[in-house]
Amino acid sequence: EACVFSVAVMCADADESDISSVFRPADFMEQVVLPDMATGTPPVLRGRALHCVSSFTQWLSPDTAVQCFKAAIASISEDSPLPVRMTAARAIASLSSSSHTGTPLLSEDFLRPHVPMLLQSIAKLLENATEDSALITLEALHQVLKVGSKQAVVHMPLVLEQVLLALGRCHGDVMIANEAVETVETAAKIPECTAMAAEASAPLILSVLQQPDKFVCTMVESVLDLLAKIVRSPESGPYKGPLLDTVLPALVFAMINVSSDDLLQPGCDCLRSYLRVCREEMIAMGALFGGHTVLECYRLIILRMLQPDASEGCGVSVAPLAMQFILRCREEARHAIGEILAAAITRMDGANSLRLRQALCVLFARLLNEDLPATLGFLEQHDVGGERAVSIVMGHWCKDHRDFCGSYDVKVLTAALGNLLICGNPGILNLPVPGTYVVDVNEGRVTRSMSRAAGKAKTDQWTQVTLEHASLLLLASTWHE
């Protein structure tokens, strides 16, 4: 057992040219490892042989892969010792996933007839999995589910039950939680299983929303990530089940009353998913809390997370939600748009982090791309703290644009600058904004801690140019990059 393990470790990441002078891995697999997988072999050796399949997948021939699969099938039955069943599940996952050539060792046509039996066996195995073996078992279950989604329907209640139990008892282990969430997401994408996944997940989601303090932060984030993915499933129809009737009110109540960033930040993604999938159903719903409709609750949540005393992480998370709320509910929430944009400008002007300023600049850029006259009209007509809103937004935008990152964000920002250039509004194009950062070569190095110790912040010096000039410079810089 120790020798097989040692050889497998050395071969796992080796190139055949490096070891071909010593032995042929394919021959070693056929002559040594395969016989050790036989049912009459001592469990410790059989388990190790199955465990090593993943190390030799790049050298397996199709015939050898089939023999390994048959041995794993024989070893995953309930009469085998638990460690052997675990390693058999790992071997099945390796054989059914993509090899180093990009194609699976075993074709989906070969695997599909075995999917129902494998799902049932691995789901039962997951019930007895320890914290150390839960990840391996979940990976195997997920891989088999991806191979035969249509064949999985009959066993889906058992699969969902065990996956959600594993998620609930993982104590926030990020890798186990992520694998469990992805497995449920895969199940939810099967049209016949979407409603089943939503109903099975609702109790766990509700328990986290109602008592978030009882769960570690990574657990809260994982469960809300699960909610967002189920809502976004192609055939989810959350308006037909508990996701709209019970989960959405609990989510809204938590977002209004809970102060923990661990819930507020991932909760924004959930609210965006609902807004995208079932906007009409939410508009038709009656009052939820204190006589507020769902859209009024959205407004309260957005304004709450844009307050100066909210964390900057909350501001980063709520900016995309505010954008979707304005774009998708423009008519129904037109009375709230000005209030939200004013709060966003105030938050931008007091932001310390580049991430928050970028998120809010993208919000205004997207609105400029969607409705340039209305957005410019608001920015020109409103003052925030005695300063024109358009000066605040474009001032921060022009200062930070070169440091913004992310393909989508840069595209949105660049398109908005182009739209501003061609709008032909002289009041906007001649607006004075920061141009180039001025460096004083005679000034000594002053760090932020030195500035704080001196009781004053270092003031950056910028040249003043028109917005037209600055936009051309920024577009040229983006094109060059």
pTM as predicted:
0.85
Check residue 312 and give its pLDDT: 95
pLDDT of res. 329: 92
Q: What is the pLDDT of residue 372?
A: 94
Output the CA angle 321-326-329, nearest 5 degrees.
110
**Can you give the pLDDT at residue 250?**
95
With pLDDT > 90 as the criterion, what percentage of the chain qualifies? 57
Backbone phi and psi for residue 434, each to the nearest 5 degrees, phi listed first: -65, 140
Q: Which residue has the higher pLDDT, 438 or 195?
A: 195
Q: Which helix (H) or strand (E) holds 435?
A: strand 432-437
Q: Specify the range with the lowest mean pLDDT, choosing from 251-265, 366-380, 388-402, 457-471.
A: 457-471
Cα of first residue to Cα of last residue in the chain, in angstroms, is: 55
Band (pLDDT 50/70/90 cuts) for residue 263 is very high
Q: Which of 186, 178, 135 is nearest to 159 (CA)?
A: 186
Residue 297 has what pLDDT? 94
Residue 119 has pLDDT above 60, yes or no: yes
Query: Which tens digit of pLDDT belongs to each residue from 172-230?
Result: 889 999 999 999 999 988 888 888 999 999 999 999 999 999 999 999 999 999 999 99
Position 361: which residue type? C
Among 227-231, 241-245, 270-274, 295-299, the range scoring the smallest mean pLDDT is 241-245
> pLDDT of 441-454, one tens digit each?
666 676 767 766 66
Average pLDDT for residues 232-241, to the nearest whole number? 63
| Of 292, 168, 201, 275, residue with least CA distance to 232 | 275
Q: Where are the domains of the chain?
A: 1-106
pLDDT value for 98? 64
State the pLDDT at residue 104: 74
Average pLDDT over residues 48-64: 87
* Spatial distance between the Cα atoms of 159 and 121, rounded to a whole number of angstroms: 10
128-167 confidence digits (pLDDT tens): 888 888 999 999 999 999 887 677 888 899 999 999 999 9
Q: How confident is the model at residue 412 (pLDDT cuts 50, 70, 90)?
A: very high
Q: Is 14 exposed, middle or buried (0-12, 13-18, 19+ CB in 10 A)?
A: middle
Closest to 337 (Cα-Cα) out of 348, 324, 351 = 324
Q: Is the pLDDT confidence value at 280 over 60?
A: yes
Residue 246 has pLDDT above 80, yes or no: yes
pLDDT of residue 99: 61
Mean pLDDT computed over every residue of the chain: 88
Once rounded to an integer, what is the mean pLDDT over residues 271-293? 86
Q: What is the pLDDT of residues 283-337, one digit of tens each?
A: 888 777 778 899 999 999 999 999 999 999 999 999 999 999 999 998 888 889 9
